[in-house]
Amino acid sequence: MPHRLGPMQTLPSPMRRFAENETVDYCIVGVGSAGGVLIQRLARAGFRVVALEAGPFWDTEKDWVSDEKSSHELYWNDLRITGGTHPLALGSNNSGKGVGGGSVHWAAFAPRFHPSDFRVYTEDGVGADWPISYWDLKPYYELLEREIPIAGPAWFPWGDPHGHPYGPHPLGGVGDVLVRGCTRLGIRSVAGGPVAILSASHGDRPHCIYRGFCLQGCKVGAKASTLITHVPDAITHGAEIRAHSMASRISLCDDGRVDGVVYIDREGNERFQKSRAIIVAGYAIETPRLLLNSACPGHRHGLANSSGTVGKYLMAQAGNVVAGRFDQLIRLYKAPPAHALSEEFYETDKRRGFARGFAVQTVGPLPVAFAKQMIAAMGAWGWGLRSVMMDYNHWATIGVLGEILPWEDNRVELAEEKDQYGLRVAKVTFNLHNNDKKLIEFGKKKVMEIMWAAGAKQVVQESRFAHLVGAARMGNDPATSVVDKFGRSHDIPNLFICDGSTLPTQGSANPGLTIQALAARTADYLIKHGDAIFFSNHRDLAEPGIRYDLSPPYTRFKGIPRIA
C-alpha cells in the first residue's frame, strides 16, 4: 500500500536514503511548521538534507482517526515538569510529535502578526523589539498564504489589511454566535477565516467537509500541515526524513563549529549524523532542551548560550475559553473550530491600563475537551457533570487569545529526572505578571460580554493558555539574544535555530503562519549564501531577497484579492 497523505495524495517513493557515514549539508532537527518548510526549500535548492523527527512519519489513512481519545499519539506525551505561579499544561495543549509536528493538530487559524508586534518595546516600553520589521516579513506572509494556502475574507481589516487567496468558509453555529455577539456590540468581526483549511480543492488535496476534527489531524487533507503541504515536495527533491529519531546532543568541534547530531533511532541505538550545518527546529521546549543537553567544554551552560538566554523569555498566550449556554441548539462540533474572529482589541489602548491586547476567536471542543472545560469552568462533577454534558449541543465556546509579554523568569530548564532515552527532561516555569493579569481580566470580561450579547442564558469561563513561543529569541545584541535575525546563533556560525522559539514577542495572533514565513526567509538566506555557510564565519546581515521559484506545486497563479 502506498503511504497516504490524505485521500488523494501519496508520499513520493522511494525516499532518498543517505548512507550511514555520509556527511550532509544540513541536518534539521524536527519536522514541524518550520522544519517542513525549511527542508522543502533546501532540497529544492539542491542541498543534501536530512531531517530527524522524534515521532512517526504519519500515514493519514492508517494512523489518523475521527476520534478524540485515539488521537493522543499526535502530541508530545513524554514527561516534562511544569511549575511556576501559573503552570502551563503541556502535551496535547501545545506540542506535536511526528512529521508535521504541531501543524498536524493546530486549529489552523492563520492571521498575520501586526506591524506593531515587531516594535513592542519602542511603542509600549515593554517586551522587546524584533530585529526585523513587519515589512521584511510581509512578502513571506503573502507567499506562504498562497503555498499553504489560506482561506479567509477578501478584506481583513486589522494590522496591515489584506485579503486571502481562497474564499471564506461557511459559518457553523459557534461562528454565528461570535458574529452575532460582536455585531450587537458594534465590534467588527470576520468569518470563514483566515484559516489554513481549503475551502476549494487544491492540487491533490480536497476541500473541507466540516466534520470538526481539525485538532485530531485532518484525514481529509483539507487542513494544512507541513506533512501534506511541504514534505512531499521535499521528498521529491531528494530530502530524507528520518522518523523515530530523537536528537540527544549536538556535537561541537575544536574549531568552534558544530559537525553533527547524535540521535537515538527507533531501535534505541545511538547514531551520529555528520552535517556541515545544523538547524534546530524543535519548538519552544525541545529546542532549548537540546541546546542545554548539548553543554560541553567551552559551552558549559548549553550550546549557543553565552548570553544565558537559552530557555528564557518563554511565552504562552492567554487562551481563556468562555462558554455560553443557549436555549436553541448550536451543535458546536460541526465546522472547523477555527472559523470566525475579531482583532478589534489587538493593539495597545492606553485607556485599558495595560500594554498590548488580545484577539477573540471561535473554539470548538469535542466532548472530552468540553467535559474538561466544564470541570474547570463550573467545577462540574458527578450528576452535575452528567447533566451539563447532556446540554453539550446547547453550548457555544469563544476563546480569548491574549498577548503575554516575554519575561526572563518564564523559562525552560533541565530537570534532574530523565526520560526513556536517558536525557534530562525539560522543566518549564511560567508566572503571570501584572500586565498579563490585567490583560486577561479585561479580555475575559469582553468575551463574556460578547457571549451575553449573542443571547446566551448562562456564561462561564475557563482559564487556560495556548501556544508556546520564545525561549531562544532572535535579536541584534548577542548579549541578550540567542540568534540573529536569520536564525543563526550568535555563538556558533553553522548552528541555526528556526522555529517558534526565536520569536521575541508573540502578538495575539496564532503563531503558525509566522513561523512558516520566518522559515522560508531563513531558507532564502541559507540558499543565497550557499557554501559560505559551511566554511566562513562572516556574518552578512543583508536581506537575501525572496525566491518565488522554490514553492511547492500549485502555488503559482493564485491571486490575493486587494480591495481598497
Partner 1 sequence: MSRKSFPFRSTGGELRDLDQPGYYPGYSTLAQQKSWDDATRKAVTERVEKTPPIRFFSEEEAALLGAVIDRVMPQDDRSEARTIPVLLVIDERLFKNALNGFRYENMPPDQEAYRIGIKAIDEMARSRFKQHFVDLTVHRQELILKSLHDGNPDPENAIWRRMPVHRFWALLMEDCVTAYYAHPWAWDEIGFGGPAYPRGYMRLENGLPEPWEKPEQRYDWNAPVDSVSVLDKEGAPPEHGSLHGHGGSH
The CB-of-336 to partner 1 minimum distance in angstroms stands at: 10
- In whole angstroms, what is the distance from residue 438 CA to residue 528 CA? 45
Q: Give the nearer residue to partner 1 in terms of CB position, either 308 or 379.
A: 379
Of 77, 361, 103, nearest to 217 (Cα)?
103
User: What Cα–Cα distance (Å) separates residue 126 from each residue in 343, 427, 437?
Assistant: 21, 26, 15
Q: Which of residues 496-515 bind partner 1 (CB under 8 A)?
A: 510
Q: Which of residues 355-394 bind partner 1 (CB under 8 A)?
A: 361, 363-373, 375-390, 392-393
Residue 494 CB: number of other CB atoms within 10 A? 23
Q: Assess 215 for contact with partner 1 (CB under 8 A).
A: yes
Q: Assess 266 for contact with partner 1 (CB under 8 A).
A: no
Q: Give the nearer residue to partner 1 in terms of CB position, either 152 or 324.
A: 324
Strands 258-264 and 9-10: unpaired
Residue 216 CB: number of other CB atoms within 10 A? 21
Q: Give the nearer residue to partner 1 in terms of CB position, either 138 or 180.
A: 180
- In whole angstroms, what is the distance from residue 387 CA to residue 118 CA? 47
CA within 13 Å, CB half, 282: 27
Q: Give the nearer residue to partner 1 in terms of CB position, either 82 or 348.
A: 82
Q: Which of residues 62-121 bind partner 1 (CB under 8 A)?
A: 62-70, 72, 75-83, 86-95, 107, 109
Q: Assess 346 for contact with partner 1 (CB under 8 A).
A: no
- In whole angstroms, what is the distance from residue 353 CA to residue 374 CA? 31
Residue 561 CB: number of other CB atoms within 10 A? 12
The size of the chain, in residues, is 564
Q: Give the nearer residue to partner 1 in terms of CB position, either 237 or 444.
A: 444
Q: Give the nearer residue to partner 1 in terms of CB position, either 79 or 154.
A: 79
The CB-of-1 to partner 1 minimum distance in angstroms stands at: 12
Are 74 and 32 in contact, with CB atoms under 8 Å apart?
A: no
Q: Which of residues 171-200 bind partner 1 (CB under 8 A)?
A: 171-173, 176
The CB-of-539 to partner 1 minimum distance in angstroms stands at: 37
- Considering only 269, 328, 542, 556, the residue that binds partner 1 (CB under 8 A) is 328
User: What Cα–Cα distance (Å) separates residue 227 from each residue in 39, 180, 231, 263?
Assistant: 11, 36, 5, 22
For residue 7 the three cell numbers come to: 485521500
**Phi-psi category of residue 107: left, alpha or beta, with phi > 0 → left and psi -120 to 50 → alpha:** alpha
3-class secondary structure, 322:
strand
Instruction: Give the x-and-dash track for 466-485 against partner 1 (CB under 8 A).
Output: xx------------------
Q: Which of residues 525-554 bind partner 1 (CB under 8 A)?
A: none
The CB-of-259 to partner 1 minimum distance in angstroms stands at: 32
Q: Assess 398 for contact with partner 1 (CB under 8 A).
A: no
- In whole angstroms, what is the distance from residue 292 CA to residue 26 CA? 21
Q: Assess 462 for contact with partner 1 (CB under 8 A).
A: yes
The CB-of-372 to partner 1 minimum distance in angstroms stands at: 5
Residue 437: which residues within 8 A CB-CB, separation 6 or more? none
- In whole angstroms, what is the distance from residue 265 CA to residue 302 CA? 23
The CB-of-24 to partner 1 minimum distance in angstroms stands at: 31
By CB under 8 A, how many residues form the interface with partner 1? 102
- Considering only 8, 200, 253, 329, the residue that binds partner 1 (CB under 8 A) is 329
Q: Which of residues 287-316 bind partner 1 (CB under 8 A)?
A: none
- In whole angstroms, what is the distance from residue 147 CA to residue 215 CA? 21
Q: Which residue has the cell 467537509?
A: 209
Q: Which of residues 404-443 bind partner 1 (CB under 8 A)?
A: 427-428
Instruction: Give the x-and-dash track for 31-50 against partner 1 (CB under 8 A).
Output: --------------------
Q: Assess 495 for contact with partner 1 (CB under 8 A).
A: no
